[in-house]
Amino acid sequence: MSGDREGAATILHADLDAFYASVEQRDDPDLRGRPVLVGGGVVLACSYEAKRAGVRTAMNGRQARALCPDAVVVSPRMEAYSAASKDVFEIFRDTTPLVEGISIDEAFLEVGGLARLVGTPRDIAARLRGRVLAEVGLPITVGVARTKFLAKVASGVAKPDGLLVVDPDAEREFLHPLRVERLWGVGAVTAAKLHGLGIHTVADVADLGEPALVSLLGPAAGHHLHALATFSDPRRVTPGVRRRSIGSQRALGNRRRSPAELDTILAGIVDRLARRLRDGGRTCRTIVLRLRFGDFTRVTRSHTLRTATDRTAPIDAAARELLAESMSMILDRGITLIGLSLANLDREGREQLELPLDSRDEPATALAGAEVERSPAALDQALDAIHTRFGSAAVGRATQLGRDPGISVPVLPEHE
């Protein structure tokens, strides 16, 4: 027990349960109570009935169907998921103005100032769950705690369709018996390293001490895990914060992919992300390539540009260079997922300007009686206008003709 904690348990972490699959079960009564897989080649989401059979998100579809032969496979409906997310976030914002969206199916809410008006955080969380079920038709789990980290862990422990409040006096009793994998930042590699030293629970991490953790995992990870294991998380719920990075990824299954095919897939991801940058009035400087190999190990490669940009061409060039540098590993180990993130984001117009030394950035002379700018920025603007008016499939790269563009996963609005 730890009775010296500062503050009350007023932070809610609200997380929709098996979101995509729950929307499918809501909209099709025949799917309720049955194992559901969203996506055939690769499982984008699965219902809890399928999870109980061992199916997991991002699993190969053939493997998932072998584990759960009775599963019903449905095609993803991203517009339906986006609409459901908007309805849920309206309920969040109707509950409290202090809402920090994390993804389309989860958010943090601060309800500390509402006690006299609407009741305790537990009461508020219970009403929130009732409203989401009654008004949107979806189950949602809520964790309530003094810190963001503990609230998120609480919601994870309470799933599915649950409510768990971690009283400040019971934080140690709640957190320390849990597996180290519950700590943010502990993936398979870090967990294996800790397990190898006999460290299996959060209590073990706390007992190890910060100097030993730093020596074992490095300064950033060591300080981070020690802070979480000792209940130190000063982050507040921050509504309207702009994201520090944006990203997209595509699961590829287990089929071998040629370098040309991977280049085409990556180019499609670049096009979507660059347009999101411009739609949000943002620029980026760092391009991060994320790969998952056939043995499910992962690697990350990054490149930082000399100046910030929102143009497709330099982002595309950097991403392709990172892919080329990783190609020998891909060919040797296979690839099951490719993703790209754009980081070091800033507001458009704040980046340092460069002199237009490249002749390609100079305006062209008159063409067919009109002044036409042939700069890459003008091309991006023209393509954005076409996509806005006629849809994303109206125009694209020649290399993508006849190819599956992949699934565009819905994301939170830029200012959410």
106 annotated active-site: yes
Binding-site residues sit at 15, 105
> Residues of 85-123 as b/e, b for ≥16 C-beta within 10 angstroms?
beebbebbeebbebbbbbebbbbbbbbeebeeeeebbbe
Residue with tokens 């490149």: 303
The answer to whether 179 and 201 are in contact (CB under 8 A) is yes
Q: Token digits for 136?
A: 């949107």
**What pairing do the DSSP bridges indicate for beta strands 366-367 and 346-347?**
unpaired
How many other β-carbons are positioned within 10 Å of the β-carbon of residue 130?
Answer: 11
Query: Residues, the chain, total?
Result: 416
> Cis link prior to 160 (omega < 30° from 0)?
yes
Q: Please give the C-alpha separations between residue 121 and each of 138, 306, 343, in angstroms, as whole numbers.
A: 21, 48, 35
Backbone angles phi, psi at 106, to 5 degrees: -155, 155
Q: Which residues, other chains included, contact 396 with Cβ-Cβ below 8 Å and sequence gap of 6+?
A: 268, 271, 405
Q: Which residues, other chains included, contact 356 with Cβ-Cβ below 8 Å and sequence gap of 6+?
A: 362
Binding-site residues for Mg(2+) sit at 15, 105
Catalytically annotated residue among 49, 106, 110, 416: 106
Distance CA 128, CA 14 (A): 9
**What pairing do the DSSP bridges indicate for beta strands 370-371 and 366-367?**
antiparallel
Residue 287's DSSP bridge partners are 303, 342
Question: Annotated active-site positions, please?
Answer: 106
